[in-house]
Amino acid sequence: EVQLAESGGGSVQPGGSLRLSCVVSGFTFSRYWMNWVRQVPGKRPVWISHINTDGSGTSYADSVRGRFTISRDNARSTLYLEMYSLRVEDTAVYYCARGAGGYGDNWLFDYWGQGVPVTVSS
């Protein structure tokens, strides 16, 4: 069974930092692109970052570029998101999501974690 489990969320003041982790199981992590998607409750999901299979390629949404860093440890089947200079508008539920390369399109997401809340507030 494919499982993704995020952790590391919480409350932080503006300007602070957090590190999210996503531990996966049930599939060969190193074969899949991975993504972070965030969502304010009641709003649409917003993709924020992707990383390719070996970590050599990454991309970011404009809203987080230069402040967030995605990485992965294939030996530990773990995806990370380092978040710096956090802003109030970064408040959301953060999901890790697997790129569905098996469906012929890495830019759709076939499995998601349960999400972890991040609150940025003074």
Partner 1 sequence: SYEVTQPLSVSVALGETATITCGGNNIGRKNVHWYQQKPGQAPKLVIYRDTLRPSEIPERFSGSNSGNRATLTISSAQGADDADYFCQLWDGTVVFGGGTKLTVL
Residue 9 binds to partner 1 (criterion: CB under 8 A):
no
Dihedral, 5, 56, 85, 93 alpha carbons, nearest 10: -30
Q: How far is the CB of 38 from partner 1 (least distance, A)?
A: 11
Query: Taking contact as CB under 8 A, which single stretch among the options 16-24, 41-49, 65-73, 76-84 is the one that binds partner 1?
Result: 41-49
- The CA-atom distances, in angstroms, between 81 and each of 39, 63, 90, 102 are 15, 14, 13, 24
DSSP 45-89: EEEEEEE-TTSS-EEE-TTTTTTEEEEEEGGGTEEEEEE-S--GG
Q: Which is nearer to partner 1, 84 or 111 (CB)?
A: 111
Q: Which of 5, 19, 55, 110 binds partner 1 (CB under 8 A)?
A: 110
Q: Which is nearer to partner 1, 44 or 54 (CB)?
A: 44
Q: Which is nearer to partner 1, 43 or 66 (CB)?
A: 43
Residue 32 binds to partner 1 (criterion: CB under 8 A):
no
